[in-house]
A and B are shown apart, each in its own frame.
Chain A
């Protein structure tokens, strides 16, 4: 950990002012940033503690959806009665992640801004283009069983580790941000980015911008949904592959469906072509398999993570089955339905 200045603004305008400049980090729950600072991976010279900002509410939006405050904790969000009733997919995905203790501290804004869990990113004694541009990617050809199979670049094969973000992608949430140049709303699919040749950029936030909230659109998917997470142990492990499915059935035909994958790419992975081929189809395993093939088109293993391709295919099919049957995966009973 290096020396840093510390500010704790109480209003948003002040926070944005404090947050401008180089090597600044916003601190909320701190469950990821503080670890990264201790390991010398994150080296901010100024830390702006935003925990006193009034961003912890969960409110109705005019459009009929919900606005999740950036500082509402993951626990508050997952157990919010409105979230549970209307967006159980989101609640389920949050509860699939981390531990109760971490979820109590972690915030919604922090969750979507958490960094990758790539071993090389975390170890300053090894090369990593995301941490230190130009060093090369240590994971390419070496220890990469947790790495990406889709959307990788020769510079970086890291994944985004959030469970919550996978559900937000399926729900077509929007991220509200503010900065020196004013407020913006970013569609969730545009919020995270692929590594391309700038792997140090996880998302499309501009320097100094701050997430203030996440808007959930009115569409709820509270009947046919599932969040299925496959991992190395039954809790407290990042997804090797996870699948969020939001589905609407009309007369036993799929009227609408979104499928988002976690653990396989630098961002939650969606492909509308895969969803489109299911429209108007009555749910069956074969159709789900075809959607999985389209969604995984172009997937490429890195050696130690080749298994993720068949794992993702099977998980997509199962999650679609669970959603269609109205029997979503439970996050407390670890048996997979």
Chain B
């Protein structure tokens, strides 16, 4: 046996690696959109409207304009002209409807709508002047109450591109009617706002030569670039968008937000650099997770085997766009049932359009479905985990296609073992310690594994340094770190020799970061680019005296390690990358490649389902008399294919779980329907979990080799952590207390009773 203990550890895919930009972030070297120092800049402060629907009848700017330092007050009356047609305002998500245009006209569509932008030489002057803009309105009748809006629910004729209509099978109604066991209930999720730590912000650097750089908080620089160019008439050479660092987004940055539109409009109008930063209150005037209503009917044999799945869901949207989510399909995909059907509608209300928020659709639909499954498990008197195994489907039960992989059984097994599920006492209210009732609950998580066209460039210099570039974003997930690991893996270089630049529209093409697909897609592109560099290195090695690698026909025949190419068939023969470049007279090797699903992939996508799965186990302790809940343990076992960086992947799951705890217990935007306005629009009253709420969270990645799902076998982990975490907690609360809560969040008042 060779002694391998002293061999250098090869860093690559699967190695836990600290964030490569961590030191920059903690030392203030990482600049966010509102932090770029631009000389001679104007500060823009947005004036938010007061009413929910109606029109502006007058704006008195006199006092605002009299403030020293105020340069301009932009309103619908004096704004520069912009294109007429909606298509100029379409963004990458292409939501059906009329995209919102700030300061477009006197019409008010939602409370908090921007009605003026005050521009001044200092932030203080702009903020003061903004408080002096006096707007009068004529209000029209409005409604933001979701329950009331259900009366107007409908299925839009033009669907959102990402929408997947449910596929029905058999006769769900008849099967339900005939079922030995039935469960039917209505479930609800409150409106939630994304609230990333960094507010939406834009700094426009107006260079004065007809070009501009737009530092903007978003999830896709090139999508925002196209949007701005289409509206403001710039070419992509003239207008560059940079989102090098993003302080969280959770989906709120998938679409260009109104501050970037206003900032560029103001810069063009004043021919100056401009910064516009939203306030926290203004963060409650745009993207939010739709409120949801979901009626679930489940029929089963006496054993608990499902015979019918029937879901009917509605989510909220605005009156000007129809945002749609996939709510009802998740349970149908996940569980075997001969009969299934789903219905889905949207309900319009007088708010901004709802938006994708971490695991859009699944975080709502799968979570609520998993509460219903728990209810039926009790009716069937089957352990909740056994109940899911009883109804396990090896294929996608709705599309009736095989999965590229589905290690959910393994996730159930490993998660249950880590949690100690087998020592659970089945009866509700049967576990207690001191005054606290203890409950154990579980649920199944489901999300998609996607791969989209993405480009990357790899540039190797003679000093042995590699630079990776791609326009992809890092909204806090660790994208850059993952790309470094893929490059290190492909070319056998240590990570400290590799630098990465992302978040810039000038860099190779990448779509908006969302849907847990950046690692799979960007990683594939980096691998291709690095392989192309590798091929040129191997070619260059031919110039090395003696041609030690002449036996290598392709890069498949060599191993890249420690900056060298080593012949697989004879490891004594090797050439260092530097020597190869020197021999060939190369200073730089630069290769750009694009990874995209080929024809075979596209066919395969139709014939095989690609999903990431999880099994979530939760322990809660409830002081029933006082309604206080503590989530003392979570185990989340995830089957997500190949994990590139276990460290940042774990962080993604931890963050998702904490967000799921918020969904279960805290997050809820409270609306005043008389005013048509969200009221708890600050982080003191819009609650998310704090450290005291977060106890022990264990993340498990189960082994799931899957060479077919995406080129690297990666499924993505950005969303799966939140999916069904709230269901596991709600189910644990039932187990602890015997109280079944079907409306999330389960706040203290719901538990305390009377």
Contact = CB atoms under 8 A, between A and B. Distances in A.
A138 B679 CA distance: 10
Contact of A336 (B628, B680, B752, B753): B628
Most buried by A among B128, B281, B749: B749
B85 interface: no
B681 interface: yes
Given A1-B124, A126-B675, A233 B684 contact: no
Contact of A311 (B621, B627, B682, B691): B627
A1 B128 contact: yes
B672 A233 contact: no
A273 B255 CA distance: 60
A123 B279 CA distance: 13
Given A233-B689, A233-B692, A238-B684, A145 B677 contact: no
Interface stretch (B212-220, B558-566, B663-671): B663-671
Contact of A307 (B436, B693, B749): B749
A100 B691 CA distance: 12
Contacts of B687: 232-233, 237
Interface stretch (A70-78, A114-122, A149-157, A170-178): A114-122
A336 B672 contact: no
Nearest to A234: B692
A3 B66 CA distance: 13
22 contacts: A1-B127, A3-B128, A117-B685, A120-B679, A123-B679, A126-B50, A126-B675, A126-B677, A138-B674, A138-B675, A146-B685, A230-B748, A232-B748, A233-B666, A233-B689, A240-B748, A310-B754, A311-B627, A314-B752, A335-B621, A336-B626, A337-B435
A125 B677 contact: yes
Interface residues of B, number: 47
A143 interface: yes
Contacts of A232: 666, 687, 747-748
Given A1-B124, A119-B685, A123-B679, A233 B753 contact: no
A73 B689 CA distance: 27
A232 to B, nearest CB: 5
Contacts of A238: 684
Interface of B: 48-50, 111-112, 124, 127-128, 131, 281, 434-436, 621, 623, 625-628, 630, 665-666, 670-675, 677, 679-682, 684-685, 687, 689-693, 747-749, 752-754
B683 to A, nearest CB: 9
B672 A314 contact: no
A307 to B, nearest CB: 4
A2 B131 CA distance: 8
A64 interface: no
Interface string A38-58: 111000000000000000000
Contacts of A307: 749, 752, 754
B470 to A, nearest CB: 38
Contact of B682 (A122, A125, A143): A122
Interface string A212-240: 00000000000000000011111111101
A304 B733 CA distance: 23
Mostly, the A contact residues are loop
B744 to A, nearest CB: 14
A259 B680 CA distance: 30
A337 B124 CA distance: 49
Interface residues of A, number: 39
Most buried by A among B124, B131, B682, B748: B748
A230 B627 contact: yes
B690 A234 contact: yes
B197 to A, nearest CB: 15
A5 interface: no
A40 B626 CA distance: 37
Contacts of A40: 131
B625 A314 contact: yes
Most buried by B among A38, A122, A123, A315: A123
Contacts of A120: 679
A258 interface: no
Given A119-B685, A125-B48, A233-B687, A143 B680 contact: yes
A309 to B, nearest CB: 8
A15 to B, nearest CB: 26
B74 to A, nearest CB: 20
Contacts of A230: 626-628, 748
A2 B67 CA distance: 11
Contacts of B671: 143
Given A141-B674, A311-B752, 17 more contacts: A1-B127, A119-B685, A120-B679, A123-B681, A125-B49, A138-B672, A142-B679, A143-B672, A143-B679, A145-B749, A230-B748, A233-B689, A233-B690, A237-B684, A307-B752, A315-B626, A335-B630
Interface in A236-252: 236-238, 240
Interface in A131-146: 138, 141-143, 145-146
A209 to B, nearest CB: 28
A143 B670 contact: yes
A307 B747 CA distance: 11
B679 to A, nearest CB: 4
Given A143-B672, A232-B687, A235-B690, A334 B630 contact: yes
A192 interface: no
A126 B672 CA distance: 10
A318 interface: yes
A150 B337 CA distance: 54
